[in-house]
Chains A and B, each alone.
Chain A
Amino acid sequence: MAKQKKISKAARTYLTSFILVGGFWGAIEAVKLSGGLSSKAAGLLIPVCAYIMMAISLNLVVGFLGELSLGHAAFMSAGAFAGVFFYNTAGAGMPEGAAIVLAFLIGGLAAGIFGVIVGVPVLRLSGDYLAIVTLAFGEILKNVLNSLYIGADSAGLHFSLKDQFSLNMEPTGKVLMKGAMGITGIRKFSVFSVGILLIALTLLFVLNLMNSRAGRAITAIRDDDIAARSIGINLTKYKLMAFVSSAVIAGFAGVLYALNFASLVAKKFDYNLSINILVMVVLGGMGSIPGAIIAAVVLTVLPELLRGFSQYRMFIYSIVLIIMMLFNRAPAFVMWRQRMALKFRSGKAGSEKEDAGKKKG
């Protein structure tokens, strides 16, 4: 009986997550068919999908690995720039489908590589230091992309961190990336179903991972790293696994997001965006995938729905962060909730004991 219950618990997470995403997809498609979808709402669809992916992937690090990453937007940025750069250059001559698929793969790969570059040094640290270093890496990437110029002429690619003229190109050369102006003239690709498909793949990957040997190792490290080591778990390997997987998903989200707009600038992926994603994870309940999905949708749609909300948005988010932490993590509150749960359950526990007795008999 106990076993059955356990399976149903994991299955419940799968079920809730997929029903949520399926429901979201169905609802939007239905509104689309009825012609009720405003162009403003339609413009939000892809960003919502990207944020859902971001929230799920950050949850992998914050919720399951138990480390705070403050540079999650940077992985999105790495994916977005790599994917879009390819799509705008080499991908321009390809059939659109192939170009899109390759753009995603390249974006994911780039974010993954950046994840390894950040992860290898960072994961030797933990706690506050890890958080501040992820923030540092995020700022570094933003600053570098913000001053990066890339051009192409018959001699090949030219790079500069200064300005357009330092590219030293032939007069016929084309500037592909213009520092703070970023990449412009992107052929937009925004198909809602592709967004949903990516979310579904993300869900399948993350849920399967967390319900496997590797996922248990990751959670074990979060709960007690010393005990995890004593059992023979390789801390670096599993921390890196969580971190890089999270980066790759963020990279995909970045490509999805960037292809939705005609231009791409590095400034969009700043510290504030990382915090926005963090708020989604915290509000949804750290370690809860369905929670992250709901929070991502609500926190993206709500500001658009409520007029005048936008100036209060970050203020309210900050209060949400503080209250959620105090309520969920403050020892006094936790104890109080446990007492309440016990009181509430004492009636139920009696019947459970009876069940166990029956089984034995």
Chain B
Amino acid sequence: MALLEVKNLGISFGGLQAVQGLNMSIESGHLYGLIGPNGAGKTTAFNMLTGMYTPTEGIITFDGVNITGKGPEYISKAGIARTFQNIRLFNAMSVLDNVKVGMHNRVTYSMLDGVLRTKKYRNKEAEMNEKAQRLLDVFGIGDKADYAASQLPYGQQRKLEICRALASDPKLLLLDEPAAGMNPNETQELMETVRKVRDDFGIAILLIEHDMKFVMGICEEITVLEYGKTIAHGDPQTVSNDPEVIAAYLGGDDED
């Protein structure tokens, strides 16, 4: 069985059907793309997968467990982590602390351990510091550990957000438009990073993108959404030759 199985997933707000009949199957270690024009329901799908929204129909199975309708806390613990379209960092906290917050449910000790500074506290903190620093180093921002997150330039903020997500040891990483707002050089570098994450951490990645080139360049399997419905599915070659996809992209406002 695949790591993530999405069956007939759908949600409606009031009368509006934002996503309908979405099926996806993502294997461990896969790089999967979810694309579509603006307002196609991609982020809504993410919000259902991460428990921010409760689907009105369909089943999500993750790692053999039905996680449909579970809250973000449960889903995060189960092993799904995400980034956000418009970067959501803990701006006033240090870069290192941002990553350490990511480990919230992975390296734990009680409030009392923290207040009384027990041995457990010291050991766990040391473990966290080391792990966080290592993650930051992988992404080349290790020397910024001490900066406030808001002081980082845009591209590095994106990286930090991925670091924070990885800190929770996910089995599946959801990236919401990671290349948004990046120039071609940065996008190229990001592609390398994403591949590297998959290879080094051995996890599955599901990403939403607007930038067709980016998706075609790195994803092994792609689902295309339009107005909440799946209009195409397959490997990059198949999808890019699909007439409906071409129509959707030429007809829609793909470049914003």
A residues near B, CB below 8 A?
Answer: 2-3, 5-6, 9, 205, 208-209, 211-217, 219-220, 222-224, 226-234, 241, 287, 356, 359
Contacts and interface: CB of A to CB of B under 8 A. Distances in A.
Interface stretch (B5-13, B88-96, B182-190): B88-96
Interface stretch (B55-63, B108-116, B235-243): B108-116
Interface in B88-125: 88-94, 96-97, 100-102, 104-105, 107-109, 111, 113-117, 121, 124-125
A232 B73 contact: yes
Contacts of B115: 205, 208-209, 212
B143 interface: yes
| A-B residue pairs, 3 tightest by C-beta | A212-B114, A232-B76, A223-B90
Given A216-B101, A223-B89, A232-B72, 12 more contacts: A2-B146, A5-B146, A6-B96, A6-B146, A205-B115, A213-B100, A220-B90, A227-B84, A230-B50, A232-B74, A232-B77, A232-B105
A220 B103 CA distance: 12
27 contacts: A2-B142, A3-B146, A6-B146, A208-B115, A208-B116, A212-B111, A213-B107, A213-B114, A213-B124, A216-B93, A216-B104, A223-B90, A224-B90, A227-B90, A228-B90, A228-B101, A229-B73, A230-B50, A230-B81, A230-B84, A232-B73, A232-B74, A232-B104, A232-B168, A233-B101, A233-B104, A234-B73
Contact of A6 (B71, B84, B94): B94
A3 B104 contact: no
Contact of A233 (B52, B73, B89, B116): B73
Contacts of A9: 146
A177 to B, nearest CB: 34
Contacts of B129: 3
B71 to A, nearest CB: 8
B68 interface: no
Contacts of B102: 231
Given A6-B94, A213-B114, A231-B102, A224 B89 contact: yes
Interface in B109-168: 109, 111, 113-117, 121, 124-125, 129, 133, 142-146, 164, 168
A165 to B, nearest CB: 48
A214 B114 contact: yes
A232 B106 CA distance: 10
B210 interface: no
A224 to B, nearest CB: 5
B86 to A, nearest CB: 11
A359 B50 CA distance: 41
A209 B116 CA distance: 9
Interface string B213-231: 0000000000000000000
A227 B143 CA distance: 24
B82 interface: yes
B111 A214 contact: yes
B146 A216 contact: no
A216 B100 contact: yes
Nearest to B102: A231
B90 A219 contact: yes
Contacts of A359: 143
Q: Which of A5, A205, A219, A227 has the largest number of chain B CB atoms within 10 A?
A: A227
B164 A231 contact: yes
Contacts of B84: 226-227, 230
A231 B50 contact: no
A2 B147 CA distance: 9
Contact of B143 (A209, A226, A356): A356
A209 B94 contact: no
Contact of B104 (A5, A205, A217): A217
Contacts of A229: 52, 71-73
Given A9-B146, A215-B114, A224-B88, A230 B76 contact: yes
A300 to B, nearest CB: 28
B146 A230 contact: no
Q: Which of A9, A205, A211, A220 has the largest number of chain B CB atoms within 10 A?
A: A220
A146 B73 CA distance: 43
A359 B107 CA distance: 30
